[in-house]
Chains A and B, each alone.
Chain A
């Protein structure tokens, strides 16, 4: 089966600019996650979708970050405006279900560098 697809793989922008990341989960996976992974740290959950509804966005900096999952499939994560501390790898993951021992399947991530 095809894995979680993310694009772009790398992005370099200047602070105060905007950037968007795209994620296509594994077909049939109802749950989609966006994580921020700062260098040397574990991933931090930003937002979790169940189909096209938000389950958890408690750690999403809503003044600058937004995410949507139209039609319950693809998702985009946007940062506007970017700050230096947003430099990180942004990981997308999906799972068949959010409950039970169902594991998450991760994409390759997008490495964002803020100049």
Chain B
């Protein structure tokens, strides 16, 4: 079964600085999708960024980018120019190409310090 691991339960970053959240996963599939979701205290889960495993180019969405290392099964999230509104739980998630086996990691709580 697929598993997703986030080894950092909590992280903090100074406003305007850069922070990287780690995620590793385990799968025997060669094609799949990876996602980072953000869950603020208000609880609604919001998509931050996604990556198709067959694409070598790392995905980027404004201040958010990923470092996708397929061989190492690593999928880290970099947040540049951190803002107070970035404070939230961040979940790494995996899904296979058949639309099943959607697995979330345990999450990393990010605090942004003014």
A→B interface (CB under 8 Å): 3, 31, 33, 40-45, 48, 50, 55-56, 89, 91, 93, 97-101, 103-109
Cβ-defined contact, A89 with B97, below 8 A: no
Interface residues of B in 58-114 (CB under 8 A from A): 91, 93, 97-107
Min C-beta distance of A61 to chain B, whole Å: 17
The answer on a CB contact under 8 Å between A31 and B44 is no
Question: Which of chain A's residues have a CB closer than 8 A to the CB of B43?
Answer: 89, 108-109
- Who on chain A is nearest to B107 by CB? A42
Q: What residues of chain A lie closer than 8 Å to B16, measured between beta carbons?
A: none
Query: B residues bordering A, Cβ < 8 Å?
Result: 4, 33, 35, 37, 42-47, 50, 52, 91, 93, 97-107
The answer to whether B44 touches A42, judged by C-beta atoms less than 8 angstroms apart, is no
Pairwise interchain contact B45-A98, C-beta atoms closer than 8 A:
no
Pick 10 A–B contacts, CB within 8 A, sort by A.
Answer: A31-B99, A41-B107, A42-B105, A43-B91, A43-B104, A55-B100, A56-B101, A99-B99, A104-B45, A105-B47
Which A residues lie within 8 Å of B104 (CB)?
A: 42-44
Please, which residues of chain B bring their CB within 8 A of the CB of A44?
A: 104
Closest to B89 in A: A42
